[in-house]
């Protein structure tokens, strides 16, 4: 059996089927159905946030967030994230301006933000990379001082608490992804979170084609809804959240124990964080060593992924920007396999192979 970087959490099929039976009985598949409503309520409760909308996926969530804040011009963002963080900015006709990252936390470096602010800057869009909180205090201060909006791409952040609050509670808007590869998933799906009732109203309208009622439109919208079947998967999986978080903590602890004393660096998690262990990234001393490790693992049917490579500053539609730290880290970082059913024997085997190939 292949060991891949991630595998979706698969709940007991009977529990999912029970929800499906209800969907069949009601003959209600999408358009703000009862399961979508229930999932939104349960997620708000779980995360203890004011307003949350369930969205078709994390990318549309980002695009709706940018639109709902009416952002124009330049958006300061991180080069070290999944491509959707940058592509949604460009898709919404704004210009991404890359601010380099901190080499320890892998998040946008607040001390480098201000030098990139121009009269055209309207917002900061930062990713809580691998679920590690950005320095939200510093980012907030800078945003307030310059009148900028803040969006967090919190696609990895579900389950992380920062200063006792869900990481999704930070920013003017936080977006999340519930894609099958994420810690908590609804197969495809995402969310937008805000504490502002006005922003919520705007996003709710935009999620549903701009409708404000069956016959009225409040503005431009898109189809950002999600279905009853996806919500059913979310409701089924939500019951296992604590179990998922606890298992990942054990797996990551084992990885760390096995890999200490090797010339590898782990991501530094911000203090005051209850971390969700959503990924297990390892930074090697050189790209050459990383490729050696990859080759040896691949030969044994183990498939880690180069998250995130290449650096988004190197995208063809991002012009003339360099982010030396992100570009360097991108070449040397590997996310090791991490999923609910990964066994401790498999972790031992992965670590043995890594040790052996580093020694070459
Ligand atoms: C997964 C991911 C997204 C996109 O989410 P989808 O639900 O797949 O559209 C955006 N940003 C980051 C950082 C991600 O990891």
Quote the mean pLDDT of the chain: 97
Instruction: Give the pLDDT mean for 18-42.
Output: 97
Residue ID of nearest Cα to ligand 1 atom 13: 82
**Six-digit token string for 41:** 């309520």
Span from the CA of 59 to the centroid of ligand 1 (angstroms)? 6
Residue ID of nearest Cα to ligand 1 atom 10: 84
Span from the CA of 179 to the centroid of ligand 1 (angstroms)? 7
Which whole-number Å values give the CA distances from 356 to 9, 102, 252, in the listed order? Answer: 31, 30, 20
Q: pLDDT tens, 286-301?
A: 999 999 999 999 999 9
Percent of the chain topping pLDDT 70: 100
Q: Is the pLDDT of residue 13 over 70?
A: yes
Q: Is the pLDDT of residue 359 over 90?
A: no
Q: Is the pLDDT of residue 281 over 80?
A: yes
Residue 4 neighbours by CB under 8 Å, 6+ apart: 303, 337, 339
Residue range 13-100+108-238, CATH number: 3.40.640.10
Q: pLDDT tens, 324-346?
A: 999 999 999 999 999 999 999 99
- Residues 290 and 284 sit within 8 Å (Cβ to Cβ): yes
Instruction: Give the pLDDT mean for 169-193.
Output: 98
Query: Which three-class secondary structure state does DSSP give residue 309?
Result: coil
Q: pLDDT tens, 203-246?
A: 999 999 999 999 999 999 999 999 999 999 999 999 999 999 99
| pLDDT value of position 106 | 98
Span from the CA of 27 to the centroid of ligand 1 (angstroms)? 31
Query: Which three-class secondary structure state does DSSP give residue 73?
Result: coil
As annotated, the residues of the chain forming the CATH 3.90.1150.10 domain(s) are 240-359
Span from the CA of 358 to the centroid of ligand 1 (angstroms)? 31
- For a mutational test of ligand 1's pocket, the pick from 5, 82, 176, i.e. the residue with the most ligand atoms closer than 8 A to its C-beta, is 82
pLDDT tier at 150 (50, 70, 90 boundaries)? Answer: very high
Q: Please report the DSSP string for 169-222 in residue order.
A: GSSSEEEEE--TTSSS--SS-EEEEES-HHHHHHHHHHHBTTEEETTEE-S---
Q: pLDDT tens, 73-130?
A: 999 999 999 999 999 999 999 999 999 999 999 999 999 999 999 999 999 999 999 9
- Residues 242 and 338 sit within 8 Å (Cβ to Cβ): no
- For a mutational test of ligand 1's pocket, the pick from 155, 180, 191, 230, i.e. the residue with the most ligand atoms closer than 8 A to its C-beta, is 155
Using CB distances shorter than 6 Å, the residues near ligand 1 are: 57-59, 81-82, 84-85, 127, 153, 155-156, 177, 179, 190
Q: pLDDT tens, 47-70?
A: 999 999 999 999 999 999 999 999
Report the b/e string of 88-108 with b at 16+ CB within 10 A: bbeebebebbbbbbbbebbbb
Q: Is the pLDDT of residue 319 over 90?
A: no
- Residues 49 and 196 sit within 8 Å (Cβ to Cβ): no
Query: Which three-class secondary structure state does DSSP give residue 123?
Result: strand
Quickly name the fold that domain 240-359 has: 3.90.1150
Residue ID of nearest Cα to ligand 1 atom 5: 58
| pLDDT value of position 321 | 84
Q: Is the pLDDT of residue 320 over 80?
A: no
Instruction: Give the pLDDT mean for 251-269.
Output: 97
Q: Please report the DSSP string for 239-251 in residue order.
A: TTHHHHHHHHHHH
- Residues 166 and 48 sit within 8 Å (Cβ to Cβ): yes
C-alpha torsion angle, residues 57, 229, 209, 197 (rounded to 10): -70
- Residues 160 and 46 sit within 8 Å (Cβ to Cβ): no
pLDDT tier at 360 (50, 70, 90 boundaries)? Answer: low
- Which DSSP letter does residue 129 get? G
pLDDT tier at 1 (50, 70, 90 boundaries)? Answer: confident
Helices (H) and strands (E) in the chain, counts: 11, 17
**Six-digit token string for 179:** 């894609």
The number of the ligand 1 atom at minimal distance from the alpha carbon of 129 is 13
Span from the CA of 85 to the centroid of ligand 1 (angstroms)? 8
As annotated, the residues of the chain forming the CATH 3.40.640.10 domain(s) are 13-100+108-238
Span from the CA of 126 to the centroid of ligand 1 (angstroms)? 13
Instruction: Give the pLDDT mean for 172-186.
Output: 98
3-state secondary structure 273-287: EECCCCCCEEECCCH
334 forms beta bridges with 282
């Amino acid at each position: 059996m292949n060991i891949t970087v991630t595998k979706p959490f698969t709940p007991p099929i009977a529990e999912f089927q029970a929800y499906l039976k209800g969907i069949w009985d009601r003959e209600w598949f999408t358009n703000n159905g009862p399961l979508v409503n229930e999932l939104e309520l349960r997620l708000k409760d779980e995360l203890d946030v004011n307003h949350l909308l369930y969205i078709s996926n994390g990318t549309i969530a980002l695009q709706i967030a940018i639109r709902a804040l009416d952002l124009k011009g330049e958006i300061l963002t991180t080069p070290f994230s999944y491509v959707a963080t940058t592509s949604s900015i460009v898709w919404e006709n704004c210009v991404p301006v890359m601010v380099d990252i901190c080499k320890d936390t892998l998040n946008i470096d607040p001390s480098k933000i201000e030098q990139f602010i121009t009269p055209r800057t309207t917002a900061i869009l930062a990713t809580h990379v691998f679920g590690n909180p950005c320095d939200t205090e510093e980012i907030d201060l800078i945003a307030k001082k310059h009148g900028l909006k803040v969006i967090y791409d919190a696609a990895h952040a579900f389950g992380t608490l920062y200063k006792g609050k869900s990481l999704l509670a930070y920013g003017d808007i936080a977006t999340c992804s519930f894609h099958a590869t994420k810690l908590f998933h609804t197969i495809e799906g995402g969310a937008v979170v805000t504490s502002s009732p006005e922003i919520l109203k705007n996003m709710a309208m935009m999620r549903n084609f701009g409708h404000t009622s069956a016959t009225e439109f409040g503005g431009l919208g898109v189809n950002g809804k999600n279905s009853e079947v996806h919500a059913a998967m979310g409701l089924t999986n939500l019951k296992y959240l604590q179990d998922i978080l606890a298992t990942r903590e054990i797996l990551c602890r084992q990885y760390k124990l096995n890999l200490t004393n090797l010339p590898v660096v782990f991501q530094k998690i911000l203090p005051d964080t209850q971390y969700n262990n959503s990924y297990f990234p390892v930074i090697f001393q050189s790209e050459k060593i990383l490729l050696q490790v990859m080759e040896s693992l691949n030969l044994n049917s183990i498939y880690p992924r180069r998250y995130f490579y290449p650096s988004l500053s190197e995208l063809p539609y991002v012009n003339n920007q360099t982010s030396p730290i992100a570009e360097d880290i991108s070449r040397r970082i590997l996310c090791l396999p991490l999923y609910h059913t990964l066994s401790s024997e498999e972790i031992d085997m992965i670590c043995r192979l890594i040790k052996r190939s580093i020694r070459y």
